[in-house]
Amino acid sequence: MSVVIHGHGPAPAQGSVPLVLLHGFPLDRRMWDGVIEHLDGVPIYAVDLPGFGAAADAAEPTGATLESFADALAQALHERGVQQAVIAGLSMGGYVLLAFIERHPQLLAGVGLLDTKASADTVEARAARLAVARNALDEAGSGAVAAMIESLVGPATVSTRPAVVEQLRSWLADAPPPGIAAAQRAMAVRPDRLEVLRALDVPALVLRGEQDSLSGPEEHEAMAALLNTEVVTVPDVGHMSAVEDAASVAEALADLHRRASAQ
């Protein structure tokens, strides 16, 4: 079980910390490319989680958990000599970050939870994940996630940003079947982790695309309340806020990084 970290921008200066970006399902680090273009001067580590991108070979279809993803990230940061980082995760990346907060809070200088939720799955959602996992491995391959495009972007993106929709469609087609299966099984067994935020005392960002149909405003408000912050709502975008409006998400992440570096 391992992650692959890709560095961008300057090396972290004395007193600064890297901004670590965790992608959503079933994408890889490339979903952050647009955001990174707007983050001049910020040391960035874009991560490929196990089973995706350059870490595609690290999928463990039967034994993966979000805890093992979080531990693999902590290990990779340790190997780079990182003592503290600002970590931001979108959707599945947020679930991994919540497991990381529970297990490695001392490594955190700031947290960003984007288009995600701290609650566990319903019984129906869990069953649907296990069906996608089986389908990806049995016959459909990456076709098992093709229909996700409907829920990833908001209506404003569908009508005004066709290139973004096509980009996401092609990333869905690239998703490695063992990675799809491992991540779905890992997400299916994740517990409710809202309470892990209560003890965390670092600068925080909670951000949601206004048209996100997969993680609702109340989920974000619950997380923001425990982190003593307000939800940042990005207008006219859906679940993939960071891809649909990279400039606005970059601005919010730059502000988080500044607040965490000033501590």
Where along the sequence are the contacts to ligand MLT (CB under 6 A)? Answer: 24-25, 91-92, 187, 214, 239
In angstroms, give the least distance from the CB of 2 to ligand MLT. 20
Instruction: State which residue, 158 or 214, has the beta carbon closest to ligand MLT.
Output: 214
Closest alpha carbon to 45 in 257, 262, 197: 257
In angstroms, give the least distance from the CB of 236 to ligand MLT. 18
Q: Is 142 helix (H, G, I), strand (E, B) or coil?
A: helix
Instruction: State which residue, 16 or 215, has the beta carbon closest to ligand MLT.
Output: 215
Q: Kindly give the pairing relationship between strand 108-114 and strand 85-90.
A: parallel
Instruction: State which residue, 208 or 239, has the beta carbon closest to ligand MLT.
Output: 239
Q: Which residues contact 67 (CB under 8 A, 6 or more apart)?
A: 99, 103
Please check whether residue 227 is in contact with residue 77, taking contact to mean a CB–CB distance below 8 angstroms. Answer: no
Instruction: State which residue, 220 or 239, has the beta carbon closest to ligand MLT.
Output: 239
In angstroms, give the least distance from the CB of 214 to ligand MLT. 5
In angstroms, give the least distance from the CB of 62 to ligand MLT. 19
> 25 phi and psi, to 5 degrees?
-90, 140
State the Cα–Cα distance between residues 61 and 111, nearest whole angstrom: 28
In angstroms, give the least distance from the CB of 25 to ligand MLT. 3
Instruction: State which residue, 137 or 214, has the beta carbon closest to ligand MLT.
Output: 214
Burial (CB count <10 Å: 0-12, 13-18, 19+), residue 46: buried
